[in-house]
Amino acid sequence: MLKEFLKDGETRMGKAVESLDHDLRAIRTGRANPALLERLTIDYYGVTTPVNQVAGISAPEARMLMIKPWDASALKAIERSILESDLGLNPNNDGQVIRLILPQLTRERREDLVKQVGKRAEEARVAVRNIRRDVMKDLEEAQKEAMLTEDDLHWGKEQVQKLTDRFVHEVDEHAREKEEEILEF
């Protein structure tokens, strides 16, 4: 019973860190990365579809992304989606592919991106702590229902805190790595 609670908490905390990692991949750095367009969607024949499902995305140069749709009719929709997004990029459409040139990041923009990373990391920390609270509550309820002994409850709470500390440290590491990546020239 106790191990099930701990395993559930560990799984949920791991998912919170994975979610953070996914969010951080979408934050722009000085280098071109196809993950930058993961959240971009288009209206493709009446269905909201991610761009990476209707086109191949590559980074042929350090500061360029190339989008080659499998269906040429999707070019305009992809271009419109890029213009409407918060990426701040201007697509160059030659009728076959769309090229996105990533401009050099300014100092102010880098600082803004670092703030975004910090904000997302704090959201992940809060998520991990909320999971800790939920597991602790579950442990206490199990103890009240005589499914756990007092010693098991105490040991379980210690283990949950160790899990929380480990996952908060992982969040901090992911955020630190992303901040370094943003700040490098």
Task: Give the model confidence (pLDDT) of 116-151 as tens digits.
Answer: 999 999 999 999 999 999 999 999 999 999 888 899
Q: What is the pLDDT of residue 68?
A: 93
Assign residue 93 the CATH number of its domain.
Answer: 3.30.1360.40
Assign residue 113 the CATH number of its domain.
Answer: 1.10.132.20
How many domains does the chain contain in total? Answer: 2
**Mean pLDDT of the chain, nearest integer:** 89
Neighbours of 79 (CB within 10 A): 17
Give the tens place of pLDDT for each residue, 102-120. 888 788 888 888 999 999 9
Distance CA 30, CA 174 (A): 17
**In a shared domain, residues 111 and 171:** yes
The Cα-based distances of 28 to 43, 160, 181 in angstroms read 24, 34, 10
**In a shared domain, residues 94 and 44:** yes
**Comparing C-alpha atoms, which of 55, 54, 50, 77 is closest to residue 66?**
55
**Comparing C-alpha atoms, which of 78, 115, 125, 122 is closest to residue 97?**
78
Which of these three, 47, 68, 101, is where a domain ends? 101
Q: Are 128 and 168 in contact (CB under 8 A)?
A: yes
Q: What is the pLDDT of residue 185?
A: 62
Range of the domain at 71: 34-101
**In a shared domain, residues 11 and 68:** no
**In a shared domain, residues 53 and 85:** yes
Q: What is the pLDDT of residue 38?
A: 80
Q: Indicate the burial class of 62 (C-beta count within 10 angstroms; 0-12, 13-18, 19 or more).
A: exposed
In Å, how far from its chain's centre is CA 183? 19
Q: What is the pLDDT of residue 11?
A: 95
Which of these three, 43, 72, 101, is where a domain ends? 101
At 29, is the pLDDT very low, low, confident or very high (cuts 50, 70, 90)? Answer: confident
Neighbours of 158 (CB within 10 A): 10
Token pair, residue 129, equals: 């702590």
Residue 60 amino acid letter:
P
Q: What percent of the chain has pLDDT over 70?
A: 98
Looking at per-residue confidence, does 121 or 88 come out higher?
A: 121
Q: What is the pLDDT of residue 119?
A: 94
**In a shared domain, residues 174 and 119:** yes
Distance CA 42, CA 45 (A): 9
Which of these three, 58, 86, 101, is where a domain ends? 101
**In a shared domain, residues 84 and 126:** no
**In a shared domain, residues 120 and 179:** yes
**In a shared domain, residues 51 and 92:** yes
**In a shared domain, residues 112 and 164:** yes
Q: What is the pLDDT of residue 146?
A: 87
**In a shared domain, residues 128 and 83:** no
φ, ψ for residue 172 (rounded to 5)?
Answer: -60, -40
